[in-house]
Amino acid sequence: MIVAEKKPMEEIIEEVKRFENILVLGCNECVTVCEAGGKKEVGVLASALRMFFLKQGRKMRIDERTLERQCDPEYLEEIRDVADGYDAVVSLACGVGVQFTAEHYPNLPVYPGVDTCFMGVTEARGMWTERCQGCGRCILASTGGICPVARCAKRLFNGPCGGSSDGKCEIGKDTVCAWQLIIDRLRALGRMEEYERIAPIKDWSTDRAGGPRKIVREDLAP
């Protein structure tokens, strides 16, 4: 999932204080799972904003709505009939949803209510960690299913650097060395010969190096 974190209230207030009618718009997908921008968080943020502006003696209309997804046109259409009634939207979707909402409603200012962080997993209750950087050319087959692009601080492809110590990364004791994980797993799988192979130099053209990316599936196009 795409993992996001709630933005500080002060930052959101600073963006929306000039408006009268605001829609706080949540997303039922990833940001709901990571508890940053689902229906529950929409309610909490909208209430907090109402209280803040009420204390200031401001009469503001702050409505709540949560869409199934903000990254699909069909769900964004669901607010078509009410969009004109708002001066601004605070979207609690990831950066994708914020942008797609803005694209669909060109005259409506859309502000982000979360900081989009990474693609990751729920490692434990209240803890999410990164697993994938979407580099566009998956090498997990040769690294025991553990990604050095996303999980090694230096994105190394041929084993750990000199900073690996006791299975931890040099950036901090809380960070596991991805290559320690890879080696442990390859050994457990009896595939250590794969570790001996020198990885080919990475082609980053499928990553962001080649500019904004696009996939076109002609078999699916209408």
Partner 1 sequence: MHLMQFRKKLEEGSFVVLAEMEPPKGVDTTVMTGHAVKVKGKVDAFLVPEMSNAVMRMSALGGAMVLQSKGMETIVQVCCRDRNRIALQADLLAAYACGITSVMAVTGQEPSYGDHHQARSVYDIDLLELLTAVSTLRNGRDMAGVELLGAPDFLMGASVNAGAPGISPEVEADDMKKKIDAGARFFITPPLFSVETIAPVLKRIDRSAVHIIPTVLLLKSLGMARYMARNVAHIHVPDALAERLETAPDRVRECVKIAKETISTFRAEGFSGVLLSTMGWEHKIAEVLEGV
The site for partner 1 (CB under 8 A) is made up of 201-205, 207, 209-211
Please identify, using beta-carbon distances, which residue of 48 and 132 lies nearer to partner 1: 132
Q: Which CB atom, from 22 or from 147, has the smaller least distance to partner 1?
A: 147
109 vs 136 by CB, closer to partner 1: 136
The whole-angstrom separation of Cα 39 and Cα 26 is 6
CB of residue 1 vs partner 1: minimum separation in angstroms? 25
* Secondary structure E strands in 78-215: 88-91, 110-112, 114-124, 127-132, 168-169, 172-176
Task: Give min distance, CB of 110 to partner 1, in A.
Answer: 23
Kindly state the smallest distance separating residue 5's Cβ from partner 1, in Å.
23
Q: Which is nearer to partner 1, 198 or 201 (CB)?
A: 201
Least separation in angstroms between residue 62's CB and partner 1 is 35
Shortest spacing between CB 39 and partner 1, in angstroms: 37
Residue closer to partner 1, measured from CB, 136 or 159: 136
Contacts 24+ apart (CB under 8 A), 7-13: 7/112, 7/113, 7/114, 7/115, 9/45, 9/48, 9/49, 9/52, 12/45, 12/49, 12/90, 12/111, 12/113, 13/49, 13/52
Burial code (b: 16+ CB inside 10 Å, e: under 16) for 112-121 equals bbbebbbbbe
